[in-house]
Amino acid sequence: MTRSSALSPSLTLTTIHDRPAGAPRRASTGQILRAAEREFGRDGYKGASMAAIAAAAGLPKANIHYYFGTKEDLYRAVLENILDNWLGDATVWIHPDATPRAALEGYVRAKIAFSRERPDASRIFAHEVLQGAPNIQGYFNTALRQHVQTLEDVFRAWQRAGQMRPINGAHLMFCIWAMTQTYADMSAQVCAVLGKATLAEKEYDDAATTIIALVLNGIETT
């Protein structure tokens, strides 16, 4: 199957979710996306099957095709859902009415929590980007770019108010994403270095505290 080089407008989550109405639709699409995230995270795009995703979701296979069409469509929807969640966390925390300290501390903790609770999501995203982002390049060029520009506007407002050093906002976000997502993408390495079979709450708390200190030391003016 040849994958699309960009998200087709007809396959965005908004359009897919608009097909049938009501709570059953929302529950079904949510079940499917969660199950697909686990299957794609465990077996990759090629290894995951619509039948396995349907079984994991506890729904008939026909329901998967009804809501999302093909496996490729579902894969792109999973990727977009991951990004929507990440960007939603940024919107909640990073806004002009917040202080830089509260905003960036809250966002880092939200990203670490996401890496802990949904590591498959981060791994799916990392694999997609390493392949050149063939399925979500359109999303990158539109929604993601616009979102980062909005965050940069917030950073510039803080800088004008003397609350933040004059650093590049986009690169600040890249650094935060890299530092927080490594605890999902590179968890085997982290566990080996720390001598742990799995990462526990303390390790995630220590990671968040360390990242927050690095970020705040880099951006605060006093």
- Do 132 and 39 share a structural domain? no
pLDDT per position as a tens digit, 198-210: 999 999 999 999 9
Do 100 and 220 contact (CB within 8 A), yes or no? Answer: yes
Domain containing residue 36: CATH number? 1.10.10.60
Residues 113/118/119/124 CA torsion (nearest 10 deg): -130
**Residue 145 is encoded by which pair of tokens?**
């770019």
- The number of distinct structural domains making up the chain is 2
Q: What is the pTM of this model?
A: 0.83
Determine the Cα–Cα distance for residues 23 and 37; give it in Å rounded to an integer.
21
Q: Is residue 2 included in any domain, yes or no?
A: no
Q: Is residue 121 part of a domain?
A: yes
Q: What is the pLDDT of residue 68?
A: 92
Same-domain check for residues 51 and 152? no
| 65 and 83 housed in the same domain | no
Does some domain include residue 4? no
Angle at the Cα of 181 from the Cα atoms of 46 and 150, rounded to 5 degrees = 105
Q: Which domain holds residue 54?
A: 9-73
Domain boundary among 47, 73, 99: 73
One domain for residues 65 and 86: no
Q: Please tell me whether residues 35 and 119 are part of one structural domain.
A: no
Q: What are phi and psi of 169, to 5 degrees?
A: -65, -40
Angle between helices 61-68 and 23-47 (to 10 degrees): 100
Express each pLDDT in 38-95 by its tens digit.
Answer: 999 988 899 999 999 999 999 999 999 999 999 999 999 999 999 988 889 999 999 9
Give yes or no: residues 69 and 82 share one domain: no
pLDDT of residue 216: 97
- Asked if 53 and 64 count as a contact pair (C-beta separation under 8 A), the reply is yes
pLDDT digits (tens, 9 = 90+) for 141-172: 999 999 999 999 999 999 999 999 999 999 99
Residues 63 and 118 in one domain: no
Q: Examine the domain organization and report whether 121 and 66 are in the same domain.
A: no
Based on the fold, state whether residues 176 and 189 are members of the same structural domain.
yes
